[in-house]
Every structure is written in C-alpha cells, then in structure tokens.
Amino acid sequence: MSRRGVRAIFLTGRPGVGKTTVLLRAVELLKAEGARVGGMVSREVREGGVRVGFELIDLATGRRGWLAHVRQPRGPKLGRYRVNIEDLEGVGVEAILRAVDEADLVVIDEVGPMELFSERFVEAVRLALESGKPVLGTIHWRARGPLLDEIRRSPSVRIMTVSPSNRERLPALVAGELRPLLGAGSGGGGNGR
C-alpha cells in the first residue's frame, strides 16, 4: 500500500474528527517498537466545556506552551484567539528542530492557519520535509497557502483523510507505512525511549 518515495504522511479531516488522536496512537505504536519520536503536538483546551485555546507539547521533553488562547494579550488574531508566537517558536519550532537532529520520526501537529503566522515555523516544516527523516503530521483540511500547497503537491507526501469510519484502523496503517522508513539516514532504529 505504501507509495515509492513517500517520506511523510499528513493526516487531514474536519475539525474534531480525531486527527491528533490518530497521530498519537500511531506514535505510541512506533515508540513501543523503539522508535525515537520528537516534534510537537497541539491539543485544544476547554474550560467548562468551552474551548478557550490550544496547548503545544514538545513530544521529546514534555515542555508545554500556548499556541493560542482567547485571553492571549498580544499576537495575531484568528477568530476568537490570539496566536502566541513566542510559545509557538520557543516550544513548537524548537521541538521540530530538535526532532530533525535527534529523532527517528518528526511529528508536526498541525500545519494550519495559526502556525503559519510564524515564518520560523514555516522554515522548520520545510527543513523537516527536506531532512530525509520520516515526518508524521496533520494539515488543516481547508486552509490554503504556499506551504500548505507545497505539502499537498509533494510527491514525497501522502495525505490521508481521517473520518469517523476509518479513524480506529488508521493508527496501525500509518505506523505500518512509517515503520520501514525509521532509522533510514539516522544511523539506527531507536534507543527504546
């Protein structure tokens, strides 16, 4: 099922369909086999059942920051949220760059409108895609722009759409497609972390 030359898988789908959950489950499967995984994930944060923002997490260090929040005092505004460029770059971009240097698999969740406010983020994504390391990410289902279009058109990227009908079986499929790429060009298959 794997296409020749594919080095990256990006999950897409409607908001709330479970893209990040599929990504994290695939990551856990690969980590259980010894893959070193780094990069960033973002998760929505709710207060009293209402979404108030998005948290960033560095997969390798556990370091956290805010991607965006309804009470963020400054930064680019997108809908109800202001984007926290300082945390996006200090946590998210640094996590991607560290993963390019140290990990077997680079995770980027998500490439979307909030993240694209940072040119450093755009550069880090391009660096990861050009690094030769396998990349697993999520991409906003509808947004367009130069980086998003590059990802969608790249012959080395496979886009997989997450839906309620396939999200339970996708983690194993994604892990299966990435497994043969792990360790290629990185000198090993992981250290069990």
Q: Per-residue pLDDT tens for 154-174? A: 999 999 999 999 999 999 999
- Note the pTM of the prediction, 2 decimals: 0.91
The tokens for 105 are 């698999």
Whether 158 contacts 1, CB under 8 Å: no
pLDDT band at 182; cut points 50, 70, 90: very high
User: Is 70 a member of any domain?
Assistant: no
Residue 85 has pLDDT above 60, yes or no: yes
Closest alpha carbon to 71 in 54, 93, 90, 88? 54
| Mean pLDDT on 68-97 | 97
User: Is 52 a member of any domain?
Assistant: no
pLDDT band at 193; cut points 50, 70, 90: very low
| Mean pLDDT on 147-157 | 96
Distance, in Å, from the CA atom of 164 to the CA atom of 157, rounded to the nearest integer, reads 23
User: Is 87 a member of any domain?
Assistant: no
User: Is 118 a member of any domain?
Assistant: yes
| Mean pLDDT on 136-141 | 96
Phi then psi for residue 42, to 5 deg, are -120, 140
User: Is 72 a member of any domain?
Assistant: no
User: Is 62 a member of any domain?
Assistant: no
User: Is 120 a member of any domain?
Assistant: yes
Mean pLDDT of the chain: 92
Residue 77 has pLDDT above 50, yes or no: yes
Residue 117 has pLDDT above 60, yes or no: yes
Residue that wins the pLDDT comparison between 184 and 25: 25
Q: What is the pLDDT of residue 4?
A: 64
Show the domain range for 157.
8-40+95-181
Q: Name the one residue in this structure whose structure tokens are 């309620």.
A: 164
The tokens for 183 are 């360790």
Q: What is the pLDDT of residue 5?
A: 85
Q: What is the pLDDT of residue 183?
A: 65
Residue 174 belongs to a domain with what CATH number? 3.40.50.300
Domain count, the chain: 1
Which of the residue ranges 40-44, 124-128, 187-191 would you say has the lowest mean pLDDT? Answer: 187-191
User: Is 32 a member of any domain?
Assistant: yes
Q: What is the pLDDT of residue 191?
A: 34
